Structure 1
Amino acid sequence: MDTVPLADTIDTTLVLLTVEEAARRLRIGRTTCYQLVRSGELESIPVGRLRRIPADAPAEYVARRRTQQRAA
């Protein structure tokens, strides 16, 4: 079996991610990621007819969730 460590598969030079790439970074399903985008919890921008996620948005989402958890 040929496996590649996740750290080797993430291109840190990307400015915009597809929803699938963002889902992989967050370790969530694609459908869940689309729900986060639709609800506005995960920042996204339209590029023509496409929807893209800024590369820093997944980390910002996690930081917001951590802050909410601590406050609860």
Structure 2
Amino acid sequence: MSTATVDTVRSAPRSALAPVLLTVEEAAVCLRVGRTTCFALIRTGELESLMVGGLRRVPADAPAAYLARRRAEQQAA
């Protein structure tokens, strides 16, 4: 990575960077469900998540992937 790239990343406003990981609460807001429901989806493996240190995080693309699977299931039924 060049110095120019590093300087650009450092100077970019925080709001301009899209999050790579979401908190469980942020994922719940994306899905328009409660925190408890979101944890249930994670526990059953329906919603992808991972541990970062001691924190549970949801990849930013996981809520959309969950919805795509649910839509495909409903269309197949």
TM-score, normalised to structure 1, is 0.82
2:59 aligns to what? Answer: 54
Counterpart of 2:70? 65
Structure 2: runs of 5 or more not aligned = 1-15
The 1-side partners of 2:17 and 2:50 are apart by 19
- Which of 30, 45, 49 is equivalent to 2:35? 30
Structure 1 moving runs of 4+ over 4 Å: none
Bigger Rg, structure 1 or 2: 2
CA RMSD of aligned residues (A): 1.3
Structure with the higher fraction of residues in helix conformation: 2
Q: Partners of 2:43 and 2:57 in 1: how far apart?
A: 12
Which stretches in structure 1 are left out of the alignment for 5+ residues?
1-10
Amino acid at match of 2:46: E
